[in-house]
Structure 1
Amino acid sequence: MKLTIFSVCSLILLQSFVSPFGIQSIINFISGSKDILFGVVQNAGSFLPTPSEIFGNTKNLIAGLPFEYVSSSINSVCSTLMSSNSVISKITPEVDSMYFQLMTACSKYSIPLLEPEGLLKLKAFNVTKKTVILVTGWRTTVSNSQTIEELSKAYNCRGDVNFLALDAASYVDTLFSWAALNTAEIGEHMGENLVRLAKLVPLENIHLIGHSLGAHICGVAGRTFNKLTSKLIPRITALDPAKPCFNEGESLSGLMRGDAEFIDVIHTNAGVLGKKDATGDVDFYPDGMVSLPTGCLSVVCAHDRAWMYYVETVYPGNEYNFMAKRCTSMKRLRRNKCGDEAEPMGYAATSNLKGTYILEVKGKSPFGMNGNETLEDQHVWCGTCLYAGIV
Structure 2
Amino acid sequence: MHKAIKNKSRLLCGLKDSRADLTTAKFILYYGPTVADSDIYDLTDYQSLLEDEHLDLCKNTVLYLHGYIEDPDVESIHVIAEAYLERKDTNLIVLDWGELADGNYIFDALPNLKQLGPELAKVLLQMFDHGLDIEKFHIVGHSMGGQLAGLIGREIFKRTKGVRKLKRISALDPAFPLFYPGSHLSASDAEFVDVIHTDAWLYGAPTSTGTADFWPNSGKSLQPGCPKRNYKMLSDNDLASHRRSWWFWAESVSDRYPIRFDAVPAKNWSEFKQKRTIETCPPVVMGHHCPTSVHGNFYLQTNGQTPFARGKEGTVYVEPKELLGNTHSICPCETPHHEQK
Within the candidate set 247, 250, 255, 1:311 is matched to: 250
Q: Residue deviations 1:13-60, cap 9 Å, x none?
A: xxxxxxxxxxxxxxxxxxxxxxxxxxxx8789727643x8xxxxxxxx
Is contact 2:66–2:144 with CA below 8 Å preserved after alignment? Answer: yes
Q: What is the root-mean-square deviation in Å for CA atoms of aligned residues?
A: 2.6
Over 3 Å counting, the alpha-carbon distance change for 1:259 and 1:45 in structure 2 is: farther
Aligned to 2:102: 173
Aligned to 1:296: 226
Aligned to 2:308: 367
Provide the TM-score with structure 1 as the length reference: 0.70
Q: Measure how far apart 1:114 and its partner are.
A: 1.6
Name the structure with the higher helix share. Answer: 1
SS in 2 for 1:171: coil
Structure with larger Rg = 1
Is contact 1:319–1:346 with CA below 8 Å preserved after alignment? Answer: no
Within the candidate set 209, 214, 223, 2:145 is matched to: 214
Aligned to 2:47: 117
Paired amino acid for 1:309: F
Over 3 Å counting, the alpha-carbon distance change for 1:115 and 1:210 in structure 2 is: same
Paired amino acid for 1:360: Q
Paired amino acid for 1:207: H
Distance in 1 (alpha carbons) for counterparts of 2:157 and 2:300: 33
SS in 1 for 2:185: coil
Q: Measure how far apart 1:247 and its partner are.
A: 2.3
Q: Measure how far apart 1:165 and its partner are.
A: 0.4
Q: Residue deviations 1:256-302, cap 9 Å, x none?
A: 22111110000001110111111111110111142211111233110
Is contact 1:134–1:164 with CA below 8 Å preserved after alignment? Answer: yes
Gaps of 5+ in 1: 1-40, 53-88, 378-391
Over 3 Å counting, the alpha-carbon distance change for 1:281 and 1:140 in structure 2 is: same
Q: Measure how far apart 1:93 and its partner are.
A: 4.8
Aligned to 1:151: 80
Distance in 1 (alpha carbons) for counterparts of 2:29 and 2:298: 33
Q: Measure how far apart 1:332 and its partner are.
A: 2.1
1:352 pairs with 2:285: no
Gaps of 5+ in 2: 230-237, 315-325, 331-341
Within the candidate set 73, 78, 89, 1:160 is matched to: 89
Aligned to 2:200: 270
Distance in 1 (alpha carbons) for counterparts of 2:55 and 2:256: 25
Distance in 2 (alpha carbons) for counterparts of 1:124 and 1:373: 37
Provide the TM-score with structure 2 as the length reference: 0.80
Over 3 Å counting, the alpha-carbon distance change for 1:45 and 1:159 in structure 2 is: farther
SS in 2 for 1:216: helix
Q: Residue deviations 1:92-132, cap 9 Å, x none?
A: 55233321000111411001112211113311111111110
- What is the number of residues matched between the two proteins? 296
- Report the more deviating stretch, 319-328 or 104-113: 319-328
1:197 pairs with 2:127: yes
Aligned to 1:32: none
Aligned to 2:233: none
